Amino acid sequence: MGFFNIFKSRESKQIEKIQVRMDVLPQEEPSEIEVARSYDKHLLSEGISLGSVVLLWWCDGKSIEAYIPRYFLYDYSINANIEFIKLFDKGFLRWSTPKEHLESLKVIELKNILEKYGLPVSGRKKIELIDRIKANLTDEDLATNINGKVYKVTELGNSILRKYSNIIWGHKNNSKDGSVNAFTFENKLTGTPESHAIEILENAFILDIKNRNFGMSTIRLKNISNYRGGDIDALMQSFCIEISGLNNSGRYLWVPEYYPHLGKSLKAEIVRNDLNDIEIEDRLKTAWEICYKLFPMSIVNTKQDALDLLFLALNEDKEKFDLLIKKLYKKAPDKYKLNY
């Protein structure tokens, strides 16, 4: 079932308020959705910060000389060098042994070690060279041939990563729209992260519609599709919002010129679901009926025009897509046009 259906059943009263007449601009101001975080309050029960958990995951197997991403400072507000000390002190992190260090070496460096000890240097895969070194040399032999240090997460550290695996998932699968990230899962450590992420995005989408942030709502729908491993109904609904010409103010219309992304993700889902033209048409019409009721105004006002634009996007016909959308835009009242 498409997400707009969920929204319709939950928020019927709010939907009625959104269905304003074409000749009346909405007057109320959007409410603030995002609340500023206080990053210094995100200490976990182990006495380390949420950002330190991400740092612990990130550094495993990396050289001490590796570049530390700036997001640790900007997103997590931590000094990585100070946090490293804490992670070592708590027994979550240690230095790798010489044999463990081999994983971080380049192929040419591994072959140099083999050549030095008169061992064969043949082998196409890095793992073959590493296994040969481990089988013939001791840590003491390797200690004199390896420079630098490599971080290694301890078993205690791995237990922390398992406990906070949802936080790591949130970091790795950041939705880029402020909805889903590592902080999202600070208090959601059980259950599948995908289901939490979808629920969060659905709630964010509802707020977007209430506040007429139609541009942002399309991003939420695409992310919902991503986290579900594909959702053609969500993508169809996102397409309907995009061709409406509504932006994040919800007060004016702009011309949504053709971009490759309009049909690309939909085309992939259509192929995956093995839909024929009639099934594609039915999915689009259902999505359009749901979405159109939410629009305070729209460039596209018929199912047929929406369907024509969809097939032009799927066929990557930029010229005809732009001609049709501009023709429809001209029919809209001038007072709603962003560039009038």
The rounded Cα 17 to chain-centroid distance in angstroms is 31
Residue 276 to residues 136, 232, 271, 287: CA-CA distances in angstroms?
A: 60, 13, 9, 17
The pLDDT value given to residue 27: 38
Beta bridge partners of residue 49, listed in sequence order: 43
As a whole number of angstroms, the distance between CA 72 and CA 202 comes to 28
Structure confidence by residue, pLDDT tens digits, 31-61: 433 333 444 457 899 999 999 999 999 999 9
pLDDT at 11: 40
CA dist list (Å): 325 to 242, 252, 320: 11, 15, 9
Burial of 123 (C-beta count, 10 Å sphere; 0-12/13-18/19+):
middle
Question: pTM of the prediction?
Answer: 0.74
pLDDT reported for residue 339: 59
pLDDT beneath 70: ranges in the chain: 1-41, 339-340
- 3-state DSSP of 191-259: CCHHHHHHHHHHHHHHHHHHCCCHHHHHHHHHHHHHHCCCCHHHHHHHHHHHHHCECCCCCCECCCCCC
Contacts of 44 (CB under 8 A, 6+ apart): 50, 53, 164
Quote the pLDDT of residue 100: 83
- The neighbour count for residue 248, using CB atoms within 10 Å, is 14
Structure confidence by residue, pLDDT tens digits, 148-184: 788 999 999 999 999 999 999 999 999 988 899 999 9
Distance CA 214, CA 27 (A): 16
DSSP string, 168-192: HHHHHT--SSSSSSGGGGTT--SS-
pLDDT at 25: 32
Share of the chain above pLDDT 70, in %: 87
Cβ neighbours, 10 Å, residue 34: 9
Q: What is the pLDDT of residue 41?
A: 55
Handedness of CA 298, 304, 310, 315 (dihedral sign): negative
Q: What is the pLDDT of residue 97?
A: 87
Q: Quick one: which of 150, 152, 167, 149 has its CA closest to 46?
A: 167
Spatial distance between the Cα atoms of 201 and 237, rounded to a whole number of angstroms: 15
